Amino acid sequence: MGNIKLAAFDLGGVLFEWQTALYEIHKLSKIGNNDIHKFLISNLKYLEKDRMDPIQFWNKFNLEFQLKLDPQELNNSWIRGFKKYDNVWSYAKFLKKNGIKLAICSNTWPNLIYTLKEIHSDFEIFDYIFDSSQIGFVKPEREYFKFVEDRTGYKGQEILLIDDSPENLKGAENFGWKILSEKDLNKIINK
């Protein structure tokens, strides 16, 4: 790992399978996964910067699809749908045992990380959590990466971002960070 001092993991797509959550919403709503995904993508910018809370999001979902489902139950189903990638968590623990600090760097909904943290005790391995809905910036914005550097004291090549988004990886690389796609991480893990 060279001079890496901080490994920053994305939440959805790296630490957790988030697409299984689409199926949980489909089971409740009978709306197709593709339609749910399109709706999610069109509203993420509001959630990720805390301009809309999850209950407002699910109320908007109900309006969009002419449903009358309980927004709290939709939110609970969404969260239950997140499945841990155990192999990635094991690798993170390996890095931690070898002296590398760990962070979660995620564009996410208000309180999602903290709710998952209540469900999964493994979150204690992370030294830092950078939740876009709490800090007001999203990856790949330069301000997001600067915020992480300012809060951790680590700079540039000392930080490795592990993410499933090519845009986020490119933004981190342009900011001077090392990068690793989740696909390449899985190749390392499965060797």
* Tens digits of residue pLDDT in 135-178: 999 999 999 999 999 999 999 999 999 999 999 999 999 999 99
Q: What average pLDDT is seen over the chain?
A: 95
In the chain the domains, ranked by start, together with CATH numbers, are 6-16+84-189 (3.40.50.1000), 19-80 (no CATH)
pLDDT at 1 over 80: no
pTM of the model: 0.94
Render pLDDT for 21-69 as a digit per residue (tens, 0 to 9).
999 999 999 999 999 999 999 999 899 998 999 999 999 999 999 999 9
Beta strands per DSSP E along the chain: 6-9, 16-17, 83-84, 101-106, 128-131, 159-163, 178-181
